[in-house]
Amino acid sequence: MFERLRDIIVKYVEVKAETITPESRFMEDLGFTSFDFMSMLGELEDEFDVEVDEQEAANIRTVGEAVAYLEKLSQA
């Protein structure tokens, strides 16, 4: 899951995949804008075949939190 997410992240921001860790914060460390982030969530919906809740997603700050959230959704 982490690797798949990492491959998608690098399409939105200019960072090297190997520098992304579960602790990386989307806005502060990776340079996401809020709209980049929302657009990526839309792509994740397709990629992982889940329905993301906008409000819950707003609390996600790190890559690790996003992985945990996606895992929770895919198990549901």
Partner 1 sequence: MECKTIREIVTGAAERFGDGDAVRYKAGKDKIEAKSYIQLKEDSERFAAALNTLGELGRHIALTGPTSYRWLTAYLGITGCGSVAVPLDVSLPAAEMCELLDRADATVFVFDEQRADVAAMAREKCPKLKYLISMQKGEAQDGVESFDRLLAAETPGFEREADPDALCTIMFTSGTTGKSKGVMLTQRNLAQNATCLDMRIPERTVLLTVLPIHHAYCLSMDILKGLSLGSIICINDSLLRVAKNIKLFEPNVILMVPLMIETLAKKLEEAALLPAAVVKAKVFGRQFHTIFSGGAYLNPAYIDLFARYGITILQGYGMTECSPVISTNLSWCVKKESVGRLMPNCEAKTVDGELWVRGGSVMMGYYGMPEETAETLHDGWLATGDLGYVDEEGYVFLTGRKKNLIITANGENVSPEELENRLGEQRLVQEILVRENADGVIEAEIFPDYDYAKKKRIADITAALQQLIDDYNAGAPAYKKIYSLKVRETEFEKTPSKKIKRY
Rounded least distance, CB 23 to partner 1, Å: 15
How far is the C-alpha of 45 from the C-alpha of 28, rounded, in Å? 23
Measured from the CB atom, the residue of 21 and 28 that comes closer to partner 1 is 28
What is the number of other CB atoms lying within 10 angstroms of the CB of residue 33? 12
Rounded least distance, CB 31 to partner 1, Å: 7
Rounded least distance, CB 55 to partner 1, Å: 8
How far is the C-alpha of 75 from the C-alpha of 31, rounded, in Å? 30
CA dihedral 30, 32, 37, 43 (to 10 degrees): -70
Positions in the binding site for partner 1 (CB under 8 A):
11-12, 27-28, 31, 33-36, 38-39, 41-43, 45-46, 52, 54-55, 57-58
